[in-house]
């Protein structure tokens, strides 16, 4: 019944998932774990405040992937959670938020998130549907449109959280050129170096997945972040054990993981 | 609130669809389940293809008013709409009229406009890498100095002239690539995967609602 | 020219990026037009890629996947041409597929350039076949692994059922494949192939990718899932050298040298400006 070679993976998945559920329930009961500050996420409010003072718009994008891909869909979800937070703050401060979109399937979701944020802040009349911009399905058509929008509108802040590929440097360099305070984040490891050198704050890998929980400050959501650490501890233990067992000349750990 | 507007509905659909994709990865559930899974993937592609029209409408909604109201840079919008219409017409799959992907006009535009434009956009990255490196590679702190030194050594490793002058650049570059870089990559990858699992649990159980309208409120 | 109140060190720290862009043009173009021929050392990873193809037993079945589109032509085209030259020169059979929708257009450009019937006397449908695009990304990869005939029913060139071709009698699923070559720039690419073809079927891979993807693919080389990796044009030039066929990548290798040295020079200039200013401030 179980696929061979995937048993250990399934056990690991179940442990992490069960831990997440356990800590969510603990969080609901008020046991909120203390988590470290994530400077990139704290900087979002600063970036929006700065853009507001400058009278410039805030750009917020959620990557170029859709929602369906197994590896990149979660990054888009994380980016949309950040968009939700950004849109609420922008609505509160009466600052324009421009959302460049590449995936048509995400376009209506992004639009609804921003529209609802304005409604929830009691300013539905300030919502500008034309600021949720579907640019192009082509990667570089999107990138070019995004860059020219930032130049034209003189972006005051540029917040990019999601799955980015080759356009990451194009967007962040353009943001730097127009003087925007930039917060970036991706789990695409090959693009992280570009974001690190070209933007002011960068969320690395797992930090973007924690963004929704961190920004919402919801106890249950914050609690779930602990499950990531449980997974890490198991990983570290396996690595250490693997090294020790490997040095003793056997490969039991490898065999165990190949189950 | 009407039942179909309730936020629980997309959450339930998300959970069911996720399970249909996850379970066959771990369990052998037989050909019928695999077929069902494949059908789901086809549905997703059909829905995705249907969404293309949303994109087309969104683009026209953005650019046509700009042309009509002569807003700044409306000329570019005119070019965009014109190309949109031309590519759409010549790319229509009507072989009887000589249209479709084999149509000579479509092929010409694809090969002689889109291809060089795409390659140009990609190659712009080379310029941006140079300006970003110049701006960011400053020895302001210990961390920045490590980044500067490691980046410079890898530049010399990748440039044939570097290894021609001193083969040691190749050895050092390979070590940087295979040891510190690789271990960091793996750590980020593992951390990212764990983050995605936990986010998946939150999304499937309805706690992660930020991506739904207004945080699901 | 130094503006009032602005020192030479300020200038060095804040050189107009347009000057840098112009200089890149100036140092990149000449070697592309007239290659200098700087010596290139060959890395073990390139040798592994070359030998994996070179040592394939006669009649081996290879699948080449185009996991990239038009935008990456500049970096991957020379590598793809060299790889196909190598494959056509060997007594192996191979099928071309694409997981990116622009992949078939790129593949056709390369096949047209090489003209396999005339140059290598290879027969379409017997020695090689062009299966075209399999839509669906990673799901398509999984489906191809299970059942190639069911996933791609007709070939790309003649639009005939794949079951009619002799080569396809030996290629029905990933179990029939001896090696998979992924020419890639991103997603779907090596990550997805490892999940869908290595893990269930243990099909070894060769990957040729853009330089920036190298760190992502490298762990698969260490793990033995990827037998050889060609990251970017420099690796392409090394491969051309091994094949004894210097072409586009070899010409581009000189441009890589000049551009990298220029960037390095600018980094040094920027740091000179930074440290000089810091010293003045401390004084």
Residue C153 lies in a domain: yes
Distance from the A250 Cα atom to the nearest Cα atom in chain B, whole angstroms: 23
Please check whether residues A58 and A168 belong to one and the same domain.
yes
pLDDT the model gives residue C135: 83
Residue B112 lies in a domain: no
Which chain B residue lies closest to C235 (C-alpha atoms)? B158
Residue C137 lies in a domain: yes
Q: Which residues of C touch A189 (CB under 8 A)?
A: 215-216
Domain count, chain C: 2
Closest CA to C64 of C216, C201, C209, C179: C179
Of B121, B131, B133, the CB nearest to A143: B121
Please check whether residues C102 and C226 belong to one and the same domain.
yes
Q: Which two tokens stand for residue A135?
A: 């640019």
Please check whether residues A144 and A234 belong to one and the same domain.
no
Please check whether residues C205 and C125 belong to one and the same domain.
yes
pLDDT the model gives residue B214: 57
pLDDT the model gives residue B100: 85
pLDDT the model gives residue A33: 85
Q: Contact at 8 Å (CB) between C130 and C158?
A: no
In tens, the pLDDT along A217-250 reads 888 888 899 999 999 999 999 999 999 999 998 8
**∠ at Cα C247 (C242, C248), nearest 5°?**
120
In tens, the pLDDT along C183-234 reads 999 889 999 999 889 988 999 999 999 988 998 898 899 889 999 999 999 9
Q: Per the CB < 8 Å rule, is C187 touching A140?
A: no
Please check whether residues C124 and C197 belong to one and the same domain.
yes
SS3 (DSSP) at A34:
coil
In tens, the pLDDT along C98-119 reads 999 889 989 998 999 999 999 9
Which C residues, 123 through 142, put their C-beta within 8 Å of a C-beta on chain B? 135-136, 139
pLDDT the model gives residue B217: 53
User: Which chains have 3 or more CB–CB distances shorter than 8 Å to chain B?
Assistant: A, C
Domain count, chain A: 2
- pLDDT at residue A103 is higher than 70: yes
Residue C209 lies in a domain: yes
pLDDT the model gives residue A31: 86
Distance from the A59 Cα atom to the nearest Cα atom in chain B, whole angstroms: 17
Q: Per the CB < 8 Å rule, is A65 touching C187?
A: yes
pLDDT the model gives residue C130: 97
In tens, the pLDDT along B184-196 reads 988 998 999 999 9
Distance from the B28 Cα atom to the nearest Cα atom in chain A, whole angstroms: 5
Q: Which residues of B touch A114 (CB under 8 A)?
A: none
Final residue of a structural domain among B21, B40, B69: B69
Q: Which residues of C touch B119 (CB under 8 A)?
A: 70-71, 73-74
**Residues of C contacting chain A (CB within 8 angstroms):** 17, 71, 137-138, 185-187, 191-192, 199-200, 212-213, 215-216
Q: Contact at 8 Å (CB) between B45 and B51?
A: no
Residue C229 lies in a domain: yes
* E-assigned strand segments in chain A: 58-63, 97-101, 132-134, 157-163, 181-186, 201-204
pLDDT the model gives residue C197: 95
Residue C267 lies in a domain: yes
Please check whether residues C216 and C186 belong to one and the same domain.
yes
- pLDDT at residue C35 is higher than 70: yes
In tens, the pLDDT along C131-156 reads 999 987 887 898 899 899 988 999 99
Please check whether residues A116 and A205 belong to one and the same domain.
yes
Q: What is the mean pLDDT of chain A?
A: 93
Of B188, B201, B211, the CB nearest to A204: B188
Q: Per the CB < 8 Å rule, is B196 touching A176?
A: no
Please check whether residues C195 and C269 belong to one and the same domain.
no
Domain count, chain B: 2
Higher pLDDT, C66 or B48: C66
Q: B2 pLDDT band (50/70/90 cuts)?
A: confident
Please check whether residues A104 and A136 belong to one and the same domain.
yes
Please check whether residues A145 and A186 belong to one and the same domain.
yes
Please check whether residues C224 and C270 belong to one and the same domain.
no
Please check whether residues C173 and C267 belong to one and the same domain.
no
Q: What is the pTM of this model?
A: 0.88
Residue B178 belongs to domain spanning? 141-206
Q: Which residues of C touch A178 (CB under 8 A)?
A: none
Q: A4 pLDDT band (50/70/90 cuts)?
A: confident
Q: Per the CB < 8 Å rule, is B133 touching A166?
A: no
Q: Per the CB < 8 Å rule, is C237 touching B160?
A: yes
Q: B215 pLDDT band (50/70/90 cuts)?
A: low
Q: Which two tokens stand for residue B48?
A: 């995705």
Q: Is A171 on the interface with B (CB under 8 A)?
A: no
Q: Which residues of C touch B38 (CB under 8 A)?
A: 139, 143
Please check whether residues C64 and C30 belong to one and the same domain.
no
Of C17, C200, C216, the CB nearest to A190: C216
pLDDT the model gives residue B213: 61
- Lowest-confidence pick of A216-230, B24-38, C162-176: B24-38
Of B117, B210, B214, the CB nearest to A212: B210
Q: Contact at 8 Å (CB) between A18 and A230?
A: no
Residue A87 lies in a domain: yes
Distance CA A196, CA A179 (A): 16
pLDDT the model gives residue C146: 87
- pLDDT at residue B50 is higher than 90: no
Q: What percent of chain A has pLDDT over 70?
A: 100
Of C138, C200, C213, the CB nearest to A190: C213
Please check whether residues A133 and A20 belong to one and the same domain.
no
Which chain A residue lies closest to B43 (C-alpha atoms)? A68
State CA B93 to chain mean position distance: 27
Final residue of a structural domain among B52, B69, B86: B69
Please check whether residues C78 and C27 belong to one and the same domain.
no
- pLDDT at residue C5 is higher than 80: no
Q: Which residues of A touch C199 (CB under 8 A)?
A: 5-6
Distance from the C184 Cα atom to the nearest Cα atom in chain A, whole angstroms: 13
Residue C265 lies in a domain: yes
Residue B44 lies in a domain: yes
Final residue of a structural domain among B69, B84, B106: B69
Q: B20 pLDDT band (50/70/90 cuts)?
A: confident
Please check whether residues C50 and C155 belong to one and the same domain.
yes
User: Which chains have 3 or more CB–CB distances shorter than 8 Å to chain C?
Assistant: A, B
* Total Cβ atoms within 10 A of residue B113: 12
The size of chain A, in residues, is 259
Please check whether residues A27 and A44 belong to one and the same domain.
no
CB pairs under 8 A between A and B: 203
Please check whether residues A151 and A234 belong to one and the same domain.
no
Residue C3 lies in a domain: no
- Lowest-confidence pick of A64-73, A165-174, B40-49, B141-150: B40-49
Q: Which residues of B touch C234 (CB under 8 A)?
A: 158-160
In tens, the pLDDT along C44-88 reads 999 999 999 999 999 999 999 999 988 888 899 999 999 999 999
Q: B169 pLDDT band (50/70/90 cuts)?
A: very high
In tens, the pLDDT along B106-140 reads 888 988 888 888 888 888 888 999 999 998 888 98
**The dihedral sign for the CA sequence A185, A187, A189, A190:** negative
Q: B40 pLDDT band (50/70/90 cuts)?
A: confident
Q: Which residues of A touch B51 (CB under 8 A)?
A: 104-105, 107
Q: Per the CB < 8 Å rule, is B130 touching C143?
A: no
SS3 (DSSP) at C174:
helix
CATH number, position A44 = 3.40.50
Residue A14 belongs to domain spanning? 7-31+218-257
Distance CA B20, CA A181 (A): 42
Residue C228 belongs to domain spanning? 44-246
Q: Which residues of A touch C191 (CB under 8 A)?
A: 71
Higher pLDDT, C154 or C37: C154
In tens, the pLDDT along C247-267 reads 999 989 999 999 999 999 999
Please check whether residues C271 and C228 belong to one and the same domain.
no
Please check whether residues C111 and C149 belong to one and the same domain.
yes
Distance CA C58, CA B202 (A): 52
8-state DSSP, C41: P
CATH number, position C65 = 3.40.50.10160
Q: What is the mean pLDDT of chain B?
A: 87
Residue B3 lies in a domain: no
- pLDDT at residue B216 is higher than 60: no
Q: Is B217 on the interface with A (CB under 8 A)?
A: yes
In tens, the pLDDT along A5-15 reads 889 999 999 99
- pLDDT at residue A200 is higher than 80: yes
Question: For tokens 């173009």, what's the residue?
Answer: C29
Please check whether residues A15 and A106 belong to one and the same domain.
no
Higher pLDDT, C223 or A171: A171
pLDDT the model gives residue C2: 53
Please check whether residues A119 and A242 belong to one and the same domain.
no
Residue B123 lies in a domain: no
Please check whether residues A84 and A142 belong to one and the same domain.
yes
Please check whether residues A175 and A247 belong to one and the same domain.
no
């Amino acid at each position: 019944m179980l696929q061979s070679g995937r048993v250990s993976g399934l056990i690991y998945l179940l442990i992490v998932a069960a831990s997440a559920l356990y800590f969510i329930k603990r969080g609901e009961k008020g046991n909120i774990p203390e988590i470290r500050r994530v400077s990139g996420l704290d900087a979002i409010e600063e970036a929006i405040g700065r853009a507001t003072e400058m009278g410039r718009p805030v750009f917020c994008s959620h990557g170029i992937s859709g929602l369906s891909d197994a590896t990149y869909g979660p990054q888009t979800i994380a980016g949309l959670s950040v968009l939700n937070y950004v849109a609420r703050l922008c609505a509160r401060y009466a600052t324009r938020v421009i959302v460049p979109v590449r995936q048509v399937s995400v376009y209506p979701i992004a639009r609804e998130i921003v529209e609802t944020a304005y409604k929830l802040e009691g300013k539905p009349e300030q919502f500008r549907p034309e600021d949720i911009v579907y640019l192009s399905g082509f990667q570089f058509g999107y990138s070019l449109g995004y860059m020219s929008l930032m130049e034209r509108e003189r972006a005051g802040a540029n917040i990019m959280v999601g799955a980015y590929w080759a356009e990451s440097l194009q967007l962040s360099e353009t943001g730097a050129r127009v003087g925007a305070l930039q917060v970036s984040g991706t789990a695409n490891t090959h693009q992280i170096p570009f974001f690190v050198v070209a933007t002011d704050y960068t969320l690395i890998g797992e930090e973007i997945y924690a963004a929704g929980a961190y920004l919402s400050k919801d106890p249950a959501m914050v609690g779930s972040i602990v499950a990531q650490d449980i997974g890490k501890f198991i990983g570290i233990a396996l690595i250490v054990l693997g090294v020790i067992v490997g040095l003793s000349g056997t490969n039991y750990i490898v065999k165990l993981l190949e189950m | 609130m009407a039942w179909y507007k309730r936020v629980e509905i997309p959450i339930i659909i998300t959970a069911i669809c996720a399970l249909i994709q996850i379970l066959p990865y771990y369990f052998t559930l037989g050909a019928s389940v695999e077929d069902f899974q494949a059908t789901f993937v086809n549905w997703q592609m059909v829905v995705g293809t249907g969404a293309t029209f949303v994109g087309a409408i969104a683009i026209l909604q953005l650019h046509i008013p700009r042309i009509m109201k002569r807003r700044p840079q409306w000329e570019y919008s005119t070019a965009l709409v014109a190309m949109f219409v031309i590519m759409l017409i010549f790319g229509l799959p009507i072989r009887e009229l000589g249209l479709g992907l084999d149509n000579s006009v479509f092929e010409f535009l694809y090969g002689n406009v889109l291809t060089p434009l795409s390659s140009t956009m990609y190659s712009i990255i080379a310029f941006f890498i140079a300006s970003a490196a110049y701006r960011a590679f400053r020895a302001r702190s210990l961390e920045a100095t490590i980044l500067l030194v490691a980046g410079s050594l890898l530049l010399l490793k990748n440039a044939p002239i570097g290894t021609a002058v001193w083969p040691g650049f190749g050895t050092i570059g390979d070590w940087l690539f295979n040891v510190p870089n690789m271990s960091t990559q793996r750590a980020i990858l593992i951390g990212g995967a764990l983050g995605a699992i936990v986010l998946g649990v939150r999304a499937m159980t309805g706690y992660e609602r930020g991506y739904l309208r207004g945080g699901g409120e | 020219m130094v503006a009032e109140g602005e020192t030479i060190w300020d200038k060095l720290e804040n050189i107009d990026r347009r000057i840098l862009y112009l200089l890149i043009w100036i140092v990149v173009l000449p070697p592309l037009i007239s290659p200098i021929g700087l010596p290139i050392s060959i890395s073990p990873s390139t040798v592994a890629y070359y030998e994996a193809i070179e040592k394939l037993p006669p009649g081996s079945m290879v699948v080449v996947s185009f996991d990239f589109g038009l935008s990456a032509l500049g970096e991957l085209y020379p590598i793809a041409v060299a790889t196909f030259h190598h494959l056509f020169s060997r007594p192996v059979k191979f099928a071309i597929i694409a997981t990116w929708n622009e992949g078939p257009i790129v593949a056709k450009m390369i096949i047209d350039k090489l003209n396999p019937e005339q140059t290598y006397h290879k027969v379409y449908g017997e020695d090689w076949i062009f299966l075209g695009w399999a839509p669906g990304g990673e799901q398509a990869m999984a489906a191809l692994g299970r059942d190639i005939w069911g996933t791609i029913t007709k070939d790309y060139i003649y639009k005939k059922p794949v079951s009619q071709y002799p080569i396809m009698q030996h290629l029905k699923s990933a179990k029939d494949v001896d090696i998979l070559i992924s020419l890639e720039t991103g997603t779907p690419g090596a990550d997805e192939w490892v999940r869908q073809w290595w893990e269930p079927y243990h099909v070894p891979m060769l990957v040729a990718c853009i330089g920036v993807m190298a760190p992502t693919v490298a762990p698969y080389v260490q793990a033995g899932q990827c037998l050889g990796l060609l990251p970017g044009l420099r690796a392409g030039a090394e491969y051309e050298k091994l094949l004894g066929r210097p072409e586009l990548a070899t010409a581009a290798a000189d441009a890589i040298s000049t551009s990298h040295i220029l960037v390095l020079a600018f980094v040094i200039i920027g740091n000179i400006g930074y440290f000089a200013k810091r010293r003045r401030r401390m004084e």
